[in-house]
A and B are shown apart, each in its own frame.
Chain A
Amino acid sequence: MAMEKSIELINKRIREGNARVVTAEEMPGVVAELGEEGAFAEVDVVTTGTFGAMCSTGAFLNFGHSDPPIRMSQVFLNDVEAYGGVAAVDAYIGATQQSTTRGMEYGGAHVLEDFVAGKRVELRALSPGTDCYPRRELTTELILDDLNQAIMVNPRNAYQRYNAATNSTDRTLLTYMGMLLPSFGNITYSGAGVLSPISNDPSFHVIGSGVPIFLAGAPGMIIGEGTQHSPGKGFGTLMVTADMKEMSQEYLRAATMTGYGVTMYIGVGVPLPVIDLGVVRSTAVRDEDIRVNVIDYGIPSRDRPALREVSYADLKSGSIEIRGEVVKTSSLSSYRRARGVALELKRWVESGKMTLSLPTRRIDATKLVRPMRETARVPRVQDIMDRNIYSVSDGDELKEAAKRLLKGDTNHLVVLDKEGKLVGIITTYDLSKAIARPGRAKKVRDIMTTRVITTNPDEHVDIVARKLEHYNVSALPVVDPDEKVLGMLTAIDLGKLFGGRWLK
């Protein structure tokens, strides 16, 4: 038996209405039952699907010319700014752009959803005026049908897989991975696992430029690799396009990640033609085989530490173990709707609505994403900290603390134990309070703050500024990994650096 099937044969079967189509969720079972060769003979097309938050989404819009005509330089849709630097009456609206009047409760994603839902959207445009385009201002209300084109072009969709998120710190973090509860209180994840398009073709054998897809309910197309495409490490992405006029609100939902911002939930599915045994093998992938790291978002750095590796099967089970504790998991993407995408695509292919194509241009399956090259040196704590250390020990009398504050001309004293380790901090305010309201407090240890927020010499100044603001403190002891105090960083040090930007 020939272990290759031409795309022409598959398309002939689709046109005749007798192509055999299964979803990527059903395929592992088919392969387990019939074997690879049996599955090859049985299945013509495997449909995939994913439905989740894809921030890198947007659309090119053409509004037509007004009379008198305008060359729009600033474009707002329901008060959400669109990029107007593309010709006179074209604009690109990005999903994450926030409203100038409503903040993160309404953004570009909502404008896109409102258009697809058939709602009216207000267009406001400004221009300096030219000889050929004299008009300087314009306001009108439009529905999707009024636009000449509304072409969705998403720079980065359908991530192959995505690392799960958790939080080691003592406060709730509001991130693009949703709400992360303190002390490893929960884990969030994203992606459809077994149904994920690229996870079913990680070598980009049949996924490539020109391949027809399902995008938010419309028949669309893969343009090529997506931005930040990094398939060499299992994080491939796709750039995709489709006509918004054919989209359905069911597969296009604006959302707001609380405390983070606006994003777009979107359904993407790729039908994979079973042209050879390679496609059979790659589509036999199961949730158990697709592994990701659990990342600690409590570390405010690009290279956040991985706590452990898990599979999508582990994540979908509802809980996983982190450091001996059972932690609940939450999906941010919808598996139910991912399945809906794969099933809808299956109907399209079975009914002959969509025939398939092989890539007209291959996507690189080995590429790796690079971090940003930064040419300006970012200031760190060690560049601005005060290296004079003013300290007391916890058994000292309050009077001794007062003397040292005066001597050091400072407002903060670190409290050290006999080994020189940091055990607390006291401020002029603590001392004033103890004197104004005399009570039992006699020693430094009676009034010191023991839960000290610290920094380290390598910390980025922007992170320190967030710490000062969040904990409402005015100074942070700078410590080494052994809790030995190296200096002090105050809001005043930061203020000098930023010309007062951080001082409220």
Chain B
Amino acid sequence: MKLLVTFSRRKGYEPIIAKAVKETGVLIRVDRAHIDSSGGEVLIDVPEESCRLVSEKMGSLGATVKILEHPVVRDEDECVDCGACISICPREVFTFDGEWRLAMEVEKCVLCGKCIDACPHDALSQQVPG
């Protein structure tokens, strides 16, 4: 399961992820991280059963945690099943099924956004974490 962890600069100096791993014992995989002078945004992958535990721990350390259930969303009315997204994606989220219909494994998505730019039909978008 993908979690989007955001924190302010002050907390950025704290080893939030390391602390969460150490204190929960859950192995966290960092998919993407962007940290600058104003704060940080880190996309992590955790096993589904530990999602709540990790979220609560990180929350107690001062981070804001949002669960991304659909990191990339497809508008089925706009998609024509061309497959322009398939070779663009670094994580093989997109494939064709036996009927040349576009299939998605969104749990692999790391929110790089390349497919959204590459789609000729403007059919893909990123879920805005609410």
Contact between chains at A331 and B80 (CB < 8 Å): no
A-to-B contact residues, CB < 8 Å: 51-53, 178-179, 181, 185-188, 253, 255-258, 263, 265, 318, 327-337, 339
Which residues of the partner chain A approach B80 to less than 8 Å between Cβ atoms? 51, 253, 265, 334, 336-337
Contact between chains at B121 and A179 (CB < 8 Å): no
Contact between chains at A329 and B87 (CB < 8 Å): yes
Known: A334-B80, A336-B101, A337-B81. A257 touches B86 (CB 8 A): no
Which residues of the partner chain A approach B95 to less than 8 Å between Cβ atoms? 318
| Shortest distance between the CB of A342 and any CB in chain B (Å) | 12
Which residues of the partner chain B approach A327 to less than 8 Å between Cβ atoms? 87
Distance A178 CA – B84 CA, assembled complex (angstroms)? 7
Distance A248 CA – B100 CA, assembled complex (angstroms)? 21
Contact between chains at B82 and A181 (CB < 8 Å): no
Which residues of B96-130 are within 8 A (CB) of A? 96, 99-101, 114, 117-118, 120-122
CB of B72 closer than 8 Å to a CB of A = no
Distance A258 CA – B122 CA, assembled complex (angstroms)? 10
CB of B1 closer than 8 Å to a CB of A = no
If A318-B86, A331-B83 are given as contacts, then 12 extra A-B residue pairs at C-beta distance below 8 Å, sorted by A number, are A181-B88, A188-B87, A253-B80, A255-B120, A258-B117, A318-B95, A330-B85, A330-B86, A333-B82, A336-B100, A336-B101, A337-B81
Contact between chains at A339 and B88 (CB < 8 Å): no
Contact of B82 among A179, A329, A331 (CB under 8 A): A331
Contact of B117 among A179, A255, A332, A335 (CB under 8 A): A179
Contact between chains at B84 and A331 (CB < 8 Å): yes
Distance A257 CA – B81 CA, assembled complex (angstroms)? 15
| Shortest distance between the CB of B116 and any CB in chain A (Å) | 9
Known: A253-B80, A253-B121, A256-B122. A330 touches B99 (CB 8 A): no
Distance A25 CA – B45 CA, assembled complex (angstroms)? 42
Known: A179-B114, A186-B88, A330-B87. A265 touches B100 (CB 8 A): no
Which residues of the partner chain A approach B87 to less than 8 Å between Cβ atoms? 181, 185-188, 327-330
User: Interface size on B (CB < 8 Å)?
Assistant: 20
Which residues of the partner chain B approach A318 to less than 8 Å between Cβ atoms? 86, 95-96
DSSP class of A's interface residues: helix, strand, loop or mixed?
strand
Give the 6 A-B residue pairs with the shortest CB-CB distance, closest first.
A186-B87, A330-B87, A255-B120, A328-B87, A336-B100, A336-B81
Residue from A187, A256, A265, A331 having most chain B Cβ neighbours under 10 A: A331
Which residues of the partner chain A approach B81 to less than 8 Å between Cβ atoms? 334-337
| Shortest distance between the CB of B119 and any CB in chain A (Å) | 8
Distance A463 CA – B68 CA, assembled complex (angstroms)? 43
Contact between chains at B83 and A330 (CB < 8 Å): yes
Distance A339 CA – B101 CA, assembled complex (angstroms)? 11
Closest residue of chain B to A186 (Cβ to Cβ) is B87
21 contacts between A and B (CB under 8 A): A51-B80, A178-B120, A181-B88, A186-B88, A253-B80, A255-B120, A256-B120, A258-B118, A265-B82, A265-B121, A329-B87, A330-B83, A330-B84, A331-B84, A331-B86, A332-B83, A332-B84, A332-B120, A335-B81, A336-B81, A336-B100
Which residues of the partner chain B approach A185 to less than 8 Å between Cβ atoms? 87
Contact of B83 among A258, A334, A339 (CB under 8 A): A334
Contact between chains at B118 and A328 (CB < 8 Å): no
Contact of B86 among A52, A53, A328, A339 (CB under 8 A): A328
| Shortest distance between the CB of A221 and any CB in chain B (Å) | 25
Distance A179 CA – B84 CA, assembled complex (angstroms)? 8
Contact between chains at A336 and B118 (CB < 8 Å): no
Which residues of the partner chain A approach B121 to less than 8 Å between Cβ atoms? 253, 255, 265
Which residues of the partner chain B approach A332 to less than 8 Å between Cβ atoms? 82-84, 120
Contact between chains at A330 and B88 (CB < 8 Å): yes
Distance A182 CA – B104 CA, assembled complex (angstroms)? 24
Known: A328-B87, A330-B86, A330-B87. A179 touches B100 (CB 8 A): no
| Shortest distance between the CB of B51 and any CB in chain A (Å) | 31
Contact of A52 among B82, B114, B118 (CB under 8 A): B82
Contact between chains at B120 and A257 (CB < 8 Å): yes
Which residues of the partner chain B approach A337 to less than 8 Å between Cβ atoms? 80-81
Contact between chains at A334 and B82 (CB < 8 Å): yes
| Shortest distance between the CB of B42 and any CB in chain A (Å) | 25
Contact between chains at B100 and A53 (CB < 8 Å): no
Closest residue of chain A to B80 (Cβ to Cβ) is A334
| Shortest distance between the CB of A360 and any CB in chain B (Å) | 33
